[in-house]
Amino acid sequence: EGNEPGDSTKITYRELLHKVCQFANVLRSQGVKKGDRISIYMPMILELVIAMLACARIGALHSV
């Protein structure tokens, strides 16, 4: 779940960009727009980084 020592996930920048754009589109489809505030409550896993970058991509403010 991301909290175990030694746990790691490797992806390329291209894969990261694809996942970030994909999640940004999901957020937009839910009505999230530039300036909206998003709260993220997740463990330290890859999806947390994707969520943070997706918020930044659409201009939404995020709090972790």
In a 3-state reduction of DSSP, which class is residue 27?
helix
- Strand segments, DSSP code E, in the chain are 37-39, 61-63
Give pTM, 2 decimals. 0.87
- Neighbouring CB atoms inside 10 A of 46's CB total 15
Q: What's the confidence (pLDDT) of residue 54? A: 99
pLDDT of residue 51: 98
Residue type, 13: Y
Q: Which residues pair with 22 in a beta bridge?
A: none
Per residue in 20-50, pLDDT (tens digit) is 999 999 999 999 999 999 999 999 899 999 9
Tell me the C-alpha to C-alpha distance, in Å, between residue 57 and each of 3, 8, 12, 42, 45.
27, 24, 18, 19, 19
